[in-house]
C-alpha cells in the first residue's frame, strides 16, 4: 500500500474519524479468492487476482468527510494525468470513473456521489478494456 500511503490525496483519510478507510493488499485478495464464490462485477475474484495489486476503499456519509472527498474528486477531475472512462447520471447524482496510467501500474479511481460518497482505487496491471470487463 505504499502507493496510497505516499499519495497525499488519499493517504490523509487513513486517520480521519469521519471517513471509513479500508485497504486490501494483494495477499488479502489472494486469501479471499480461496472462496470461489467471491464475485466482483462480472468476474470471480480468482479470475482477477493476477491483475490486481491493491484496493483502497474510502467512504463517508458525514458532511465534513463528504466535503473533503468531493474537493479531492474535483481536483482529480482537473488533473491531466487522469482520463475519464465513464460518466453516469443516476437519480441526478454523478458517477464517474477515472483512469491513470503510470510506467509500472494502472490505477483506476471509481467514485459514486450519492447519499454516501465512496471512492474505490484499484491498482494493478490491466488495460482499460480489462478493467471495464471486470467491473462495469
The tens digit of pLDDT for each residue in 75-126 reads 877 877 777 777 776 666 666 666 776 555 677 777 777 667 888 888 888 7
Grid cell digits, residue 20: 471509513
Grid cell digits, residue 67: 466535503
pLDDT one-digit tens code per residue, 12-45 = 888 899 999 988 888 888 887 776 666 665 666 6
Global pTM?
0.76
Where do we find the cell 462480472?
A: 42
Cβ neighbour number for residue 33 with a 10 Å cutoff: 16
Amino acid at each position: 500500500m505504499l502507493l496510497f500511503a505516499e499519495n497525499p490525496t488519499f493517504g490523509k483519510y487513513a486517520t480521519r474519524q469521519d471517513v471509513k478507510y479500508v485497504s486490501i493488499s494483494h495477499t488479502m485478495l489472494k486469501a479471499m479468492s480461496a472462496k470461489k464464490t467471491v464475485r466482483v462485477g462480472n468476474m470471480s475474484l480468482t479470475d482477477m487476482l493476477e491483475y490486481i495489486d491493491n484496493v483502497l476503499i474510502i467512504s463517508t456519509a458525514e458532511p465534513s468527510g463528504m466535503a473533503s472527498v468531493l474537493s479531492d474528486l474535483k481536483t482529480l477531475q482537473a488533473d491531466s494525468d487522469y482520463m475519464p472512462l465513464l460518466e453516469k447520471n443516476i437519480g441526478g447524482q454523478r458517477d464517474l470513473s477515472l483512469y491513470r496510467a503510470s510506467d509500472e501500474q494502472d490505477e483506476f479511481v471509481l467514485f459514486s456521489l450519492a447519499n454516501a460518497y465512496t471512492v474505490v482505487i484499484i491498482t494493478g496491471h490491466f488495460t482499460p478494456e480489462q478493467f471495464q470487463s471486470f467491473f462495469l
